Amino acid sequence: MKQYPSFELKAVNISKSYDGFTSVFSPIGLSLKNGEILGIIGWNGSGKSTLIKMLSGTLMPSTGSLTLYIEGNQLENEYIPMQIGFIAPYLTVYEEFSPKEHAQFFCEMSGVDFNISLYEQLIEVTGLKQHESRQIKAFSSGMKQRVKYLLAMIRQNPILLLDEPSTNLDSKGQEIFRTIMHMQKVMGGGTIIATNEQAETHFCDHIISLS
């Protein structure tokens, strides 16, 4: 797996209002650089998922700004999602595909070459090797969550965003989560975790509380 280039994801005073009057949370600023792990904690309904979606570039903030610098160069906002791997329980997968077909399709739709050696490494890490020819619709919820980890890593994005990453994972799945976190850090990637699980915050260098 490749070493990621230097980067900084920077949010300045971002917040979100869905009704035009009331903000989900007070304006927040943060920075994520190579090798860092940032935790976002808060009560249910405090806005963790809203913040993660804004950081992914898939939800526009109502106030503030989000910028991503790669090797010192600022990316246009429309290209930010291409630098991010995103895992969340509300994200869906195409269940008519097998894991390999889905990974190939995901790379093709993203304009990224499908790296077969990386795929082989990830299919082993996620424990899906013996199931890689089966349609995802036959998978348990925990196995579908593992597929999301595979897809989040296959494009080799420098930034990984995890919203409630342990959802549907058993003890083996928890080990996969820890392995993926280690891989991302070793490659110089950055990770943001939105969670209420204390065990997951132990990985974090910094914590932001929305409560």
Nearest by Cα to 24 from 44, 42, 43, 50: 50
Q: How confident is the model at residue 157 (pLDDT cuts 50, 70, 90)?
A: very high
Task: Quote the pLDDT of residue 1.
Answer: 64
Lowest mean pLDDT among 22-26, 92-96, 169-173, 189-193: 169-173
Task: Quote the pLDDT of residue 91.
Answer: 92
- The pLDDT mean for the chain works out to 94
The reported pTM is 0.94
Contact between 16 and 54 (Cβ < 8 Å): yes
Contact between 163 and 88 (Cβ < 8 Å): yes
Give all domains of the chain, ordered by start, each with its CATH number. Answer: 7-209 (3.40.50.300)
Contact between 70 and 5 (Cβ < 8 Å): yes
Task: Quote the pLDDT of residue 164.
Answer: 92
d(CA 67, CA 201): 25
Residue 131: count other Cβ atoms within 10 Å of its Cβ: 18
